[in-house]
Amino acid sequence: MIDVQNLSKSYSGHRAVQNLTFDVKRKEIVGLLGPNGAGKSTTMRILSGYLPPTDGKVTIAGFDVVTQSLEVRKRIGYMPEKVPMYPDMRVHEFLRFRAELKKVPSRNIRNRVDAVNQLCQLGDLRRSIIGTLSKGQQQRVALADSLIHEPELLILDEPTAGFDPTQIRAARELVKELSKHHTILLSTHILSEVEMLCNRVIIINRGRIEKADTPSNLTRMVRGGHYLKVEIKAPSDKIISVLEAVKDVEDVESIAHEDGWCIGRVYSAPGTDVRDSIYSAILKQGWPLREMTVVRATLEEAFVELTQD
């Protein structure tokens, strides 16, 4: 659906985006993550055909964003970060105007406006003047606008930035629902959202791609990000020597906790599950065991590790 080859963009000497190469397949949800000023919005603006790339080639659904910009723009629904809209218009007037602009056939306009009203829960805002709406409500209107012509690809720049927690949850459901018919590229700061929604995450920092992978693979990459936490009543040094002898275990740490209890961390080789064998080793020693948990790093930790200097 999206194919980006060596994309670069400079603004008056400053390189905002350097050599990005990635692709997004049909009906995939891909999250673009990165600190502020990393080049996320620039990338999305280029994909939407608003900005031309300085270098490199971007094709969307087989059309080049520079030379066949009109064809590309017919196929995408772009929701910019600041959701600019005409403050004097009413919501339904705005949606009707946008539908006409995006060449929705006039007999379908009514249906489409009703459909996006329902999808984005704009029911009671239909007749409100856009300037009087809150940020979250305006964002729902912008989302409705990006959906109105049933685009193949949705490019959403921080779609949930002004939402309250209930709306974020609703938006998440909506994006999941939309992904059945649309390809979605979204950028966000809310990592839990990405973890729950996206098939793939692209982490951008300083205009470069740091990592592109599934959320679970990314968290696994974090140093010490995946271990087994055990709480055993036994001497610390004994725990280390016994557990290190178990197959696939790479490293064991143990710290004395309280009343003779110790908290141990068991690091195993990637892709292995050592819970069974650790349990039998402890059982063989006859040590009391009161907790055993798998601890996974969050995407947040992966993000911080990948983007810090």
Partner 1 sequence: MAYWTLLKKELWSIFVSPVAYAVLMACSLSIAAIFVYCFSAINGSNITFISVLQACATLPTFWILVMFQVPVMTMRTFAEEFKMGTMEMLLTAPIREWEVVLAKYTAAFLFFVLAWVPLAVNITYLHIFTNPAVPFFFYPTALTFLGIVIVGMFFVSVGIFTSVITRNQIVSAILAFVFIFVYFFIGLLSYLKLEPWTFSFLGMSLSINIPEIASYMSVLEHMSTFARGVFDSRPVVLYFSGTILMLFLTQRALLARRLQS
Please report, as ranges, the residues that interact with partner 1 according to CB under 8 A: 45, 48-52, 70-71, 73-74, 76, 78, 80, 82, 84-88, 97-98, 100-103, 145
Phi, psi of 158, rounded to the nearest 5 degrees: 45, 65
Closest separation in Å from C-beta 25 to partner 1? 23
User: What's the sign of the alpha-carbon dihedral 171, 43, 182, 149?
Assistant: positive
Closest separation in Å from C-beta 187 to partner 1? 15
- Looking at the Cβ atoms of 71 and 213, the one nearer to partner 1 is 71
- Looking at the Cβ atoms of 149 and 211, the one nearer to partner 1 is 149
Cite the beta strand spans of the chain per DSSP E: 2-11, 14-24, 29-33, 55-60, 63-64, 76-79, 153-157, 183-187, 200-205, 208-213, 226-233, 249-256, 261-268, 289-296
Question: What is the residue type of 293?
Answer: T
Q: Are 210 and 306 in contact (CB under 8 A)?
A: yes
Q: Are 84 and 91 in contact (CB under 8 A)?
A: no
Q: Which of 99, 101, 138 lies closest to 122 in space, CA to CA?
A: 138
- Looking at the Cβ atoms of 157 and 210, the one nearer to partner 1 is 157
- Looking at the Cβ atoms of 86 and 295, the one nearer to partner 1 is 86
Closest separation in Å from C-beta 224 to partner 1? 43
Closest separation in Å from C-beta 143 to partner 1? 13
- Looking at the Cβ atoms of 39 and 264, the one nearer to partner 1 is 39
Closest separation in Å from C-beta 195 to partner 1? 29
